[in-house]
């Protein structure tokens, strides 16, 4: 019974099966205390693939698995990482991947999906292979302009990877505010809204005044000289007078989508209880 519970929890995927059986037997016989049992299982589970040390315990601690930052990595290293993640029932997400990297990896992982605009590569597993499925939630991604789309696509792909239902509303910046009000119904039903904007970064404040959920502002490096590569948008968002607006780094679509996915997952779980 003890071993079955552990295997259902997913711990067995990153631990030696023989050691796990010994640990479970020790708990049952009383030679291993409950405190020691919890201490051992509480240690992070690491998979050494040579080029990286994968944190397989991250879903338990942080809500979602590890994500691969592709920039600067060789395709050989990423292939090892992807295969290890898949072996442990993890949907793969890699960010900042070049078209050349994607072309090389696509042959090894034909089920992979490359988003050329967002520069992401996802390998979704079917339900039978996936570890523990996440609860659903709803995330809406909003862009101020089409120039912000690459960052918004990174956020969208990340939120999809978290298991959330994702909706994208494009090109509704403050230069034409009527475009935003025409799409309010799609924003107001979300558990979290990610607003991607450059220039002066005003859109998150406007959105924040219309919705009753967290608004994650993502400043982009879009704009003329005085935008200082996104610093003007970042400062504008940090100084938002809308109380439900929080901010991530410049061009950090991944961070925006990840945080939104966490919020959506927790909101969905609360509704199901």
- Let me know if residue 2 belongs to a domain: no
Structure confidence at residue 26 (pLDDT): 81
For residues 99 and 151, state if they share a domain: no
pLDDT one-digit tens code per residue, 42-57:
655 776 667 777 777 7
Q: CATH number for the domain including 184?
A: 3.40.50.1970
CA distance 97 to 133: 25
- Let me know if residue 176 belongs to a domain: yes
For residues 167 and 249, state if they share a domain: yes
pLDDT one-digit tens code per residue, 235-271:
999 999 999 999 999 999 999 999 999 999 999 888 8
For residues 147 and 268, state if they share a domain: yes
pTM of the model: 0.81
Indicate the residue among 73, 89, 123 that finishes a domain: 123
Residues 6 or more apart in contact with residue 263 via CB below 8 angstroms = 137, 139, 191, 192, 213, 214
Structure confidence at residue 131 (pLDDT): 54
For residues 149 and 247, state if they share a domain: yes
Regions in the chain scoring below 70 on pLDDT? 1-19, 38-44, 47-49, 126-135
**Which domain does 259 fall in, by range?**
138-272
For residues 152 and 232, state if they share a domain: yes
For residues 95 and 70, state if they share a domain: yes
Domain count, the chain: 2
Q: What are phi and psi of 166, to 5 degrees?
A: -125, 135
Which H or E element spans position 203?
helix 203-208
């Amino acid at each position: 019974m003890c071993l079955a519970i552990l295997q259902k929890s997913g711990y067995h995927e990153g631990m030696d099966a023989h050691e796990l059986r010994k640990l479970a037997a020790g708990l049952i016989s009383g030679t291993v205390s409950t405190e020691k049992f919890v201490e051992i299982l509480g240690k992070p589970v690491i998979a050494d693939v040579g080029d990286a040390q994968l944190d397989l315990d991250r879903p338990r601690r942080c809500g979602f698995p590890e994500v691969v930052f592709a920039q600067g990595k060789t395709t050989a290293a990423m292939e090892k990482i992807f295969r290890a993640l898949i072996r442990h029932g993890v949907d793969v997400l890699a960010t900042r991947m070049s078209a050349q990297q994607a072309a090389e990896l696509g042959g090894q992982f034909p089920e992979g999906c490359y988003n050329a605009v967002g520069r992401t590569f996802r390998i979704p597993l079917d339900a039978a292979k996936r570890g523990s499925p996440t609860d659903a939630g709803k995330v809406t991604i909003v862009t101020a302009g089409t120039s912000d789309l690459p960052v918004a696509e990174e956020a969208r792909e990340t939120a999809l990877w978290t298991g959330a239902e994702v909706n994208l509303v494009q090109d509704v910046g403050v230069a034409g505010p009527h475009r935003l009000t025409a799409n309010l119904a799609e924003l107001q039903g979300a558990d979290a809204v990610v607003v991607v904007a450059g220039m002066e970064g005003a859109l998150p404040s406007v959105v924040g005044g219309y919705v009753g959920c967290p608004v994650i502002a993502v400043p982009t490096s879009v704009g003329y000289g005085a935008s200082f590569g996104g610093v003007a948008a970042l400062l504008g968002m940090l100084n938002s007078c809308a109380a439900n607006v929080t901010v991530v780094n410049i061009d950090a679509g991944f961070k925006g989508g990840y945080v939104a996915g966490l919020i959506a997952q927790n909101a969905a779980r609360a509704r199901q209880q």
